[in-house]
Chain A
């Protein structure tokens, strides 16, 4: 597998009037094409900053982010959904397609709506949906343009445990079906291991990648995976690394 994204010595400072905070300190890693990479780390370690740099929302201080293809489409799923309140489910999902003048038929979007389990809610506005459903819209919106790279910033952190498991399973099915490259940022170690093929562990601020672990849990993964012996072995290894730092 070739590298989809190569990240080298990424550094980012946040400067306020009073002091300068280092968010990222020479973070380096590669994302293989079609990989599912979980990035785990304590709150405030610069995970989101890292993702925002990759998406191009903010500019890094120094270092390089290299994509294997120029102008690669990305899909971004936000922690707080960031749906447009003036658009209904269908229109929110259609948003990126319309911007890019991509024409995908009504049927394809309805198919996507069915895939994320929102059939019957096409005409509902975000304020009429639960947070879990809103995040389904957020995922579908990111998927609509068929991106090869999907970036997810703690997308399930504000939903309850059972909803979270359902959304995780949904995400896993989507990934297994079309194998896009996914970078999934979370502070939830269970979630990171359960979903990822590769696990990157970040240090506390200033953030850098301190360890890369291959997760060899068999697929398809189910709720049983969460209580398996291998799962717990990996988890204790991750905890040891995080605590040592």
Chain B
């Protein structure tokens, strides 16, 4: 074990001890001791509910993610490559990003009901703008000479878009998607707090209503885990897609 690891382990252990001492005199419902939380972990993982809750949240997240990602890529590519004609539309479109996704929750419930579709729309909305804006920005900075290369081989517009522009924009698409995923993760949990009957967010609210702070903390730990895994997953996909930033593996 190196010094850095040792240091962070010491801090972690220190915090745990401090928590334990603080929880000694506290109300166990409001501020449970580490031992009680450890028992809560066992309680959660010995039942199947947490799997349903996770699946339900993650499914919303993933479906909504792609519903936002794909239009963002298509529109970003098209609007990013047109100079004047579409930029007006693109600009007015951009202003929609100032609508906070959570402000759409009451609206989507009225328009689309309380079911899954409302959640997809909210997540898609959240993911769309970081990707779309990121594509527009790097389209703006793109050196047109790289397109001229394709033109010198008489490339069609479609070939330019798919063989040059799309690979060029891949890194910004991935970084936009990572930002979008991070936002979507917090948005889905918040959205589930008010308008859902399943999911991690819904369950958190439910545990709160029955004063099970220990179980709430276990679910928060789950959220940390999922957030981390999703981000690393996107990062991995990104590094596979733009490997040229690093040395080749062979």
Contact = CB atoms under 8 A, between A and B. Distances in A.
Interface of A: 52, 55-57, 71, 73-76, 78, 80, 82, 84-86, 88, 95-96, 99-100, 123-128, 141-142, 145
Please give me the 5 A-B residue pairs with the lowest Cβ-Cβ distance, nearest first.
A96-B153, A76-B152, A85-B244, A57-B148, A99-B153
Interface string B140-152: 0001011011111
Contacts of B209: none
Contacts of B170: 86
A52 B56 CA distance: 56
21 contacts: A55-B152, A57-B151, A57-B152, A71-B154, A73-B154, A74-B152, A76-B148, A78-B149, A80-B145, A84-B164, A84-B167, A86-B167, A86-B168, A86-B170, A86-B244, A88-B248, A99-B155, A99-B163, A100-B154, A123-B250, A128-B248
Q: Most A CB atoms within 10 A — which of B143, B163, B170, B242?
A: B163
Contacts, number: 62
B49 interface: no
A73 B155 CA distance: 12
B159 interface: yes
B248 to A, nearest CB: 6
Nearest to A124: B248
A144 to B, nearest CB: 9
Contacts of B250: 123
A5 B247 CA distance: 43
A86 B148 CA distance: 17
A145 B248 contact: no
Given A86-B242, A88-B248, A128-B247, A99 B154 contact: yes
A125 B244 contact: yes
